[in-house]
């Protein structure tokens, strides 16, 4: 299991809210910190992938389950 500094539960939220919650969390974190994001929006991986590419924050791991996706982001 990946160690993380903060968890954001965006369950039940739809685009763009999970991404906005992630952005807010990252703004309060230090470089190298890891945030765990739980999302039930099936398109969250698309938004988070583009965001990662554009900002340089790294998706360390993505776990897809039947009813949710769990992302681990490392702040650049």
Can you point out the beta strands (E) in 11-68? 34-39, 58-64
The C-alpha atoms of residue 42 and residue 57 are separated, in whole angstroms, by 21
Q: Which residues are catalytic, by number?
A: 15
DSSP code of residue 2: -
Task: Please answer whether residues 16 and 47 qualify as being in contact, where contact means their C-beta atoms are separated by less than 8 angstroms.
Answer: yes
């Amino acid at each position: 299991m990946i160690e993380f500094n903060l968890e954001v539960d965006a369950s039940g939220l739809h685009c763009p809210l999970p991404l906005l919650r992630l952005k807010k969390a990252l703004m309060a974190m230090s470089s190298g910190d890891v945030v765990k994001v739980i999302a039930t929006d099936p398109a969250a991986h698309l938004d988070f992938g583009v965001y990662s590419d554009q900002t340089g924050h790294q998706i360390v791991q993505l776990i897809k389950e039947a009813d949710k996706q769990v992302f681990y982001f490392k702040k650049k």
